[in-house]
Amino acid sequence: MAMNIVVVGSQWGDEGKGKLIDILSAHSDITVRYQGGNNAGHTVVVRDKEYVFHLLPSAILHKGKVCVVANGCVIDPQAILNEMEDLKRRAIKVDSICLKISGLAHVVMPYHRILDGLRESKRKNKIGTTGRGIGPCYADKVTRCGIRMIDLLNPRIFKSKLEDNLSEKNEIFKEVFDTQGFSLEKVYAEYLDYGRRLAPYICDTALYLNRAMDRGKSVLFEGAQGTFLDIDFGTYPFVTSSNTIVGGLCAGSGIAPTRINKTIACVKAYTTRVGEGPFPTEFSSSLKDEIRIKGKEFGATTGRPRRCGWFDSVLVRHSIIINGAHELAIMKLDVLSGLKEIKICRRYKYKGKTYKDFPMDFEVLSNAQPIYEELTGWQADISGIRRYAQLPSQARAYVERLEDLLKVGVRYISIGTRREDIIIR
């Protein structure tokens, strides 16, 4: 029986989903990206060659596999073309057989990127946007004035929609931000050319996926970012603009929930986040710098240094509940090697009250003090280990304590950056 699996980030993104997807996609026929845009970054190392993906699933590295960028994504045509061309220069095949792009996915336009930056500059409380235009593009989708990939293939429809958008956006640029707007003819010609170049890849991906499943094909679904950047369940407003949780898969790909067989929650052995927002278990400056350098914690998309902290079981337990996770993947366990003690947050405390469940109140979350459990660390280098039983007893104790707290079994343990640096239990 074909297995249809979803991998979901269960912290604030950057958990190592790209590596896990790369490993799992070798055993799946099709891999689907179902939300987000080129504000995401997945890094994969294969035979010491590093590949960074922003829109394309990393499964494109496997011969004979199909990659789908589904309708829940927002697509910057120039960005996806650049990604495709970079892979072709590196002798990776990218054609209309191995890559499908949904005609219903919305297009990131140049005015979205400018609006993103201008709005951030006006905010008193900065969100920490990547400035890629993702939020404004999703906003246009919801307010029903967006432009979709299929529109780029119909010059009349595209021009009509672009005229309406520029009429509104150029007035906003002039009256609100006192900046220059965009030329209709220039944007029209540029994006019509993108449509021509991407036309062979654009199709009804929902129909394609459902028919493939009917034929017994196995499908792997990957989200971008993580649960706590979800527009509904994340640490709002310091979130992304789409549903990153497993529930976003259905609306973002056109696949019914009854067709999903397994959900794998992906977490780091510690916690990181990029940008602003609450972070109860954040390290002190010295330890933050040590782990950041050791774990190479710099954003794959922006290069921004990631904030680092101890593992937060309150956070991850909430994610596992929301996503209905069946299995857990723990990434970068090797980064914790050499620490004398390792902490796990089990509860929060604020104004004398203890919280065992993740709080909705932003004030509580922003000021909560973590209540830690301390475990003995391990000093050995574990990067060459491939069997769970060979891990130091302290490392196994850490993994098993996480299983106890999260009430879900650990299936995968990453102990390095390369594809083969993985323990499967």
CA distance 32 to 6: 9
List active site positions: 14, 42
CA distance 31 to 65: 8
C-alpha distances out from residue 102 to 147, 179, 196, 209, 270, Å: 13, 34, 15, 11, 35
CA distance 205 to 253: 7
DSSP alpha helix (H) spans, 246-306:
248-253, 285-294
CA distance 177 to 181: 10
pLDDT of residue 300: 65
Averages of pLDDT over each 10 residues, the chain, 425 residues: 93 91 93 91 76 88 95 97 94 94 98 90 75 94 98 98 97 92 96 98 98 98 94 95 96 97 98 93 89 86 86 98 98 96 98 97 96 97 93 98 97 89 92
Are the beta carbons of 97 and 199 closer than 8 angstroms?
A: no
pLDDT of residue 329: 98
- What is the per-residue DSSP string for 156-225? HHHHHHHHHHHHHHHHHHHHTS------HHHHHHHHHHHHHHHGGGEE-HHHHHHHHHHTT--EEEE-SS
CA distance 68 to 64: 13
DSSP alpha helix (H) spans, 261-311:
285-294
